[in-house]
Amino acid sequence: MSEQITAQEGQPTAALPVPAEPALPAGAAPVVAAPAKDRTGRGRVLRAVARWTVAVLVLGGVGAGTAYGIAGLERTDVPGLATQGDGRWAYPKLSLPALAKDQPRPYTDGNVDEIHYADLRKLLLPAPTGAKPDKKLNGGWVTDDRFAAEYAPDEGDDLRQALDDYAVRHIAARGWTMPDGTRTAVYLLRFDSAGTAESFKDTEIDLGLASGRALAGEPTLEIDADWDSSGEVENTSTYVYGEAKPYGREHTRQAYVVAGDTVALIVQARKGGAAAVPFHQTVILQNQLLG
């Protein structure tokens, strides 16, 4: 089975094979995070190192889920992962926005801070076919307060202060609801460098085996054991979580993507159960748009 992708910048159209078995993404030199404020002392640092060692082993070894592996992906080509009858949503064909000649992509030589020079709004994943757009998250800029509203009320003040401390430059967001009731919200936060984005993720979101700051409704989230990371763009990181049973009023899924100077938050929720396949598809496509 193969899917067609549309090449950009003079590249020919090519068929993109899906490998029989997903391969882990090629290794890359880690981003060195900018110095972060020490809020809880050396003990927290040591605990974080231990937690991240375990998290990397777990996330790196998981491969039991639906395979969305992508081989030889060009930086300007993003497959739509069209619906194949397995629950995937029908997203439009995607491509990275064109850049001026003197503006490099985030993972190229000369772009040491891994800056996304494209308009952040153009890097947001579009809604799939059949979706009802969220009027408050319409693909434009949103405020710190709007982003903080995705989290539990007691997280709000601290999170808004963190966004100010880390001087977030822009926040763009898009949301939609599918006919089956699945609600999706995608936020992109741009900082001044990859180091700052990594520091914000480590210190203020505090990801690891747990999902860090609690979302609104305070669902209990754990690492998604069915997540397959083979579709990730090299040099990016994705952290995927799902609500543990018994579910609350809704079943919630959550993911973060860290890509250069940008951190993405993706949340899906549905009463009775949010399906894994379209959630994983959404996370992979947003990851690739940030590549």
User: What is the model's pLDDT at position 85?
Assistant: 72
Q: 78 pLDDT exceeds 70?
A: no
Q: How confident is the model at residue 101 (pLDDT cuts 50, 70, 90)?
A: confident
Closest by alpha carbon to 284, among 259, 251, 260, 261? 259
User: What is the model's pLDDT at position 79?
Assistant: 52
Q: pLDDT, tens digit, for every residue of 224-281?
A: 999 998 888 889 999 999 998 888 889 999 999 999 999 999 999 999 999 999 999 9
Name the phi and psi angles at 148, rounded to 5.
-60, -25
User: What is the model's pLDDT at position 166?
Assistant: 97
Name the phi and psi angles at 42, rounded to 5.
-65, -35
Closest by alpha carbon to 266, among 116, 118, 73, 137? 137
Model confidence, pTM:
0.74
Q: What is the dihedral of CA 192, 193, 195, 201, to 10 degrees?
A: 60
Give the three-class secondary structure for 268.
strand
- C-alpha dist (Å) from residue 179 to 99, 133, 176, 184, 275: 36, 11, 10, 12, 13
Cα–Cα distance for residue pair 139/174, rounded to 1 Å: 4
Most confident of 6-10, 46-50, 182-186: 182-186
Q: 2 pLDDT exceeds 50?
A: no
Using DSSP bridges, classify how beta strands 14-17 and 77-78 pair: parallel, antiparallel or unpaired.
Answer: unpaired
User: What is the model's pLDDT at position 254?
Assistant: 98
